[in-house]
Amino acid sequence: MIADLRALADRRQLLADFAWRELRARYKGSVLGFAWNFVTPLLQLVVFWLLFGVVLRTRPQTATGEQPYAVFLFVGLLPWTFFATSLQSGASAILANASLVKKVRMPVQVLPAASVLSALANFLLSLIVLFAVLIVFGPRHPEGVIWLPVLIALQIVMNLGFAYLLSALAVFYRDVQHILGILLLAWYFLTPVLFSVSILDDRPQQLFLLYLNPMTAVIVGYQRALLDGLPPQWDALAYSTVVAVVLFIAGFWYFDRAKDDFESAL
């Protein structure tokens, strides 16, 4: 396992090449091309803002008070999209490159990592739009940006763990990709993207259950950083970090154990 991790680091140029290849393939033949990185989250933002912000008149509360719903939603939607995209593209990383895996001698551990790296590039591009929205509409808390590297690093570890685990499982169990879509939809509504955790302030038991979701502390961390200029909730983030590290070790270990059987299963 250590040797495979070292090989991944040694082949970082190959990793970057595969990530770039996936980015180009994703938008090949598209008129807007990379502009979809900005158009997609903005369209999602408009739809949910109309439903929850205009029709239902939702007014989310964070640590510094009431926030514009559209901005609040955008702050949580982008890291969630990074998470969901990493899992979906990571799950298909080996299957989508079956011909390479069978015909070319290469470190296959590069493929799931390239999927996460590609999703990270999309996320960082989308952050440019988010920063522009915050500059124009507020709230303006530039001091909170210093916490973003911590949150992004945690997401990378967690996403990699899921990507390695799911990509290996999908080789042997093709239903994984179909089940994943359903699970991600349920997970999305159980994560405080559309709503603020403050709605459960008077229900500590439900709030505790919500924080068992490791993505809760991550999303709240982005909201606190960008909407309030505050650091993450360190106790909750520590739990998410432990989950991420354990998941990465378990996912990479299973991938490393299963990779020798990929060629026969593809």
Quick check: pTM over 0.85? yes
Distance, in Å, from the CA atom of 247 to the CA atom of 123, rounded to the nearest integer, reads 22
What local confidence, expressed as pLDDT, does residue 83 receive?
96
Q: CB–CB of 228/144 below 8 Å?
A: yes
Q: How is 182-248 classified by DSSP, letter by letter?
A: HHHHHHHHTSTTSS-GGGGTT-HHHHHHHHTSHHHHHHHHHHIIIII-----HHHHHHHHHHHHHHH
Q: What is the pLDDT of residues 221-263, one digit of tens each?
A: 999 999 999 999 999 999 999 999 999 999 999 999 998 888 7
- Ordered by start, the domain boundaries in the chain are 33-265
What local confidence, expressed as pLDDT, does residue 262 receive?
86
Q: Largest Cα–Cα distance in the chain?
A: 59
Q: What is the pLDDT of residues 47-74, one digit of tens each?
A: 777 777 677 677 888 888 888 888 898 8
What local confidence, expressed as pLDDT, does residue 260 receive?
85
What local confidence, expressed as pLDDT, does residue 30 receive?
58
- Among left, alpha and beta (phi > 0; psi -120 to 50; other), residue 60 is beta
Distance, in Å, from the CA atom of 91 to the CA atom of 88, rounded to the nearest integer, reads 5
Residues 6+ apart with CB under 8 A from 264: none
Distance, in Å, from the CA atom of 256 to the CA atom of 168, rounded to the nearest integer, reads 9
* Residue ranges, the chain, pLDDT below 70: 1-11, 23-24, 26-38, 41, 53, 56, 104, 266
